[in-house]
Amino acid sequence: MKKKLCKCGSEIPENPYSSIRAKRCRECEIKNKKPSKPFIDKAKAGIIKKKKISEKTHKLKEGEKEFRKNCEDIKNEMLENYGYVMCQQCQTTDSFKFENHHLVYRSEKRGHKNLHDKANLIFLCSDCHSFMHSHKKEARRELVEERGLVALFGNDIL
């Protein structure tokens, strides 16, 4: 491949990781303060900032704002009371990811006003969350009764 030369006469080094070739040598680039690094490097350096998605441009589903707020509240209460986050089913703290779970599923009571209520939400590790979904009725029965969800949603959830 033909070697490219910069306006100053020095050779422009080839980048083995990119098919895009620089237009100037590194010294000229520094003098002109025009970086030719790829977009990813600029983002890492903080030159390009990520745009925040506002609620005006990103419409949340009905009740989603309340759901997110209540999930944050549950997490913050746990941190305040215990100093750490744990699964509310098995009490483990050794999970990389904790997930929020509706005891009464969205599909069961779509659009219900108490669907995103704190009493209906539980903070689980990935294993317990999978178990809850695979053993839907029997796994949640005790929690539904304990939290008084029958009064909120009716007897058909048992």
Q: Each residue of 60-86: pLDDT tens digit?
A: 566 788 888 888 888 888 888 878 888
Residues of the chain with pLDDT under 50: 34-40, 42-43, 48-58
pLDDT for residue 26: 67
Residue 35 has a pLDDT of 41
Which pLDDT score, from 0 to 100, does residue 40 have?
47
Reduce the DSSP state of residue 101 to 3 states and report it. Answer: strand
Alpha-carbon gap, residue 92 to 78, rounded angstroms:
13
- Alpha carbons within 13 angstroms on the beta-carbon side of residue 154 total 6
> So what's the pLDDT on residue 39?
45
pLDDT at residue 20, as a whole number: 59
- Residue 27 pLDDT: 72
Does residue 31 contact residue 16 with C-beta atoms inside 8 Å?
A: no
Q: What is the pLDDT of residue 143?
A: 86
